[in-house]
Structure 1
């Protein structure tokens, strides 16, 4: 029997434990905000020790924001090294009344595992840990090391998580893979060689603040009304200049009006209003280019409406500009990932783009580690939403693919 078949058999034999561990992680609170991954780090560390993988290093910028790093040494200092990564935090529950189950009491029903963080991305963490355990169980020679990193704070700015360990941990890996979910309509839709970047800005509109009872008797401008007009036209008419990318056919996505505010009180004509917009960027796009496109659009509106007083203000770091990440399809590990997918799924997902950003931006730009932004179980469409879930089958498939791809890569040339 081949090593690949041994790994598949091992995962099948341990799938109950794998699913129990995924459920245990879902039941472990790590909501961000407020942000506290200490319980998650403790549960994962205990599991690593229990499986004989070793005691991970804890690196924390703040006591309640631990990150875990486990380096499993191979037999050769000259062989390739691989990092598998995932984040430990989740978004908040939101409206509990819209959940059909307790978000912290995971339930398996009709082949689906339900619970907060099930798809984003606690099941992937469990798959990574058990993938490493399966490789170790094979007892084969490989090099130079397999690195597991589990980060805090991804759901916020990453300041306490990937950004911190990219700066401080001194991780040395030839390539990394992040297990973010890559399904939109179905599992395993693509291998995410791109993560889109982001820039965020506020459109600020000024009017005439005055007693609202006489607004129709004297010259006046309602800032809320003007703001609404700008918002509608921007959502319909603003276009950005960019070079199309074959892995990202959806192009640029603009979230016009993701936040809106204006007005003081009843009886007061609004003198100021604003709305916020985020723009998801393709490789090659810059904040300077986006700013130029926005200013050109606003100049057009000003010419058409002399009463319009409007300005744009880009957010300070990090939201002012988060760069896109792109990985070459010629990286050797990617060929092993495709091979693993073919063996487990019976088909090779095409290359594609994760629609948002991931922690790849920190490992890539700060630590200098080529990082595949996303390839993990679950559908992005059910994340950050009530009744988050993913298929049990996809968790098992993830574990098998991570293990096979890592094993093939780490033994390549051995």
Structure 2
């Protein structure tokens, strides 16, 4: 909980000393304006997913790496238009490798009329930067880059490597981003930190999220009788749209999921009817209607058990609609089952981040669960890299919506905390 030390804090705390910390944080503060300008440049560089093309933003990132004397980066790509940028800052010893990671893509703008300002032309108002991708998560990407630059420029005492990764394709399937890096590319590190926004309904950096919930997406379709609508009162018929609505309502009331509550998150979240479709149009009695849904899952849950729970409930409901057919289909991988992941509270990087937050923010964030899915699924589950899913500037509720914003000072604080935590974790 906030203000409390984890069981191994005292043992795990590794203070790199005041002078290296001061030199590094002062460097970041000195380059504050450059950092904020860089965030604005990234926000002004479109990278919406869909359609999914991160070449322009990767070009902006690599150009800035060169300006920061961070040559030697690598571009790894499954598809030419989906580049992942990788840079390694080598330490002085054979210590562990810390991976700092953020994604370069964003959701599409959506309804631009709901924005108070142009989402592709970032503006600063009342200490906040507004624009698409500010909070999710170009602010954190820039902060990580400047944290690594500060470590390099101040010759920070690192006895292990810092691996900086800016990956593509997080906002959709992840196949060209973290999945590719975790499997085909074979990325390796001892621990990973994702800079996803960690504010929910309080201040920025409200939480340090150790658990990333999973995701399962599926469709329930009802098949009825399609025919000329003028005959619906004269011939036996099943209105698929009406039955679908009743099935949706009953599934919401009657579905019982099999799970064990987690200390950081009591239950999964079921979102029924995130998309609904039905019928053909005027004059046609609806013979097919469907709703799509997603469930945010907890560690210990499985796809097989989730499917059994859904089918059991739908079979019970279907007995009341014998003339209709009710089908359940899961999305194609990876959206059918996106595994949850977690890092234990006594991991050394957790203590390092909490200490860094105390130094920069004057408080220690509460340990919690990130509500959504993240790249942790691939880095931890597929590549075996323990991954902290979220500690970054911004507020998750503002992501994927109009008037997305991030605190300007929070970007600078993020860079400082990332640098301090890296020095602590990588100290001999």
Match of 1:315 in 2: 331
Match of 2:209 in 1: 192
Match of 2:102 in 1: 86
> Paired residue for 2:379, among 334, 354, 363?
363
Moved more, 302-311 or 100-109: 302-311
Q: Which structure is higher in strand share?
A: 1
> Are the aligned partners of 2:205 and 2:391 in contact in 1 as well (CA < 8 Å)?
yes
> Are the aligned partners of 1:81 and 1:143 in contact in 2 as well (CA < 8 Å)?
no
Residue 234 of structure 1 deviates from its aligned partner by: 1.6
1:94-243 → structure 2 map (5 Å cutoff): 94-186=110-202, 187-243=204-260
Task: Say whether 1:46 aligns with 2:86.
Answer: no
Moved more, 305-314 or 360-369: 305-314
Residues 170 and 206 of structure 1: is their aligned pair in 2 closer, same or farther, counting only changes over 3 Å?
A: closer
TM-score (norm 1): 0.96
Cα distance in 1 between the residues matched to 2:321 and 2:238: 12
Cα distance in 2 between the residues matched to 1:353 and 1:379: 14
Cα distance in 2 between the residues matched to 1:347 and 1:80: 27
Cα distance in 2 between the residues matched to 1:59 and 1:335: 32
1:237-256 → structure 2 map (5 Å cutoff): 237-249=254-266, 251-256=267-272
Residue 308 of structure 1 deviates from its aligned partner by: 4.1
> Are the aligned partners of 1:45 and 1:55 in contact in 2 as well (CA < 8 Å)?
no
> Paired residue for 1:389, among 397, 400, 405?
405
Residues 304 and 111 of structure 1: is their aligned pair in 2 closer, same or farther, counting only changes over 3 Å?
A: same
| Aligned length, in residue pairs | 410
Q: Which runs of 5+ in 2 are unaligned?
A: 1-17
Cα distance in 2 between the residues matched to 1:219 and 1:115: 54
Match of 2:353 in 1: 337
> Are the aligned partners of 1:181 and 1:377 in contact in 2 as well (CA < 8 Å)?
yes
Cα distance in 1 between the residues matched to 2:299 and 2:314: 25
Note the alpha carbon deviations across 1:32-56, whole angstroms, 9 max, x for none.
1111111111111111121122231
Q: Which runs of 5+ in 1 are unaligned?
A: none
* SS in structure 1 at match of 2:217: strand
Match of 1:70 in 2: 87
Match of 2:317 in 1: 301
> Are the aligned partners of 1:152 and 1:161 in contact in 2 as well (CA < 8 Å)?
yes
Note the alpha carbon deviations across 1:143-186, whole angstroms, 9 max, x for none.
22110001111111011111112223333211010100111112
1:250-269 → structure 2 map (5 Å cutoff): 251-269=267-285
> Are the aligned partners of 1:131 and 1:399 in contact in 2 as well (CA < 8 Å)?
yes
Aligned-residue CA RMSD (Å): 1.3
Moved more, 304-313 or 126-135: 304-313
* SS in structure 1 at match of 2:271: strand
In the TM superposition, structure 1's runs of 4+ consecutive aligned residues that sit over 6 Å from their partners are: none
Cα distance in 2 between the residues matched to 1:398 and 1:236: 42
Cα distance in 2 between the residues matched to 1:30 and 1:73: 30
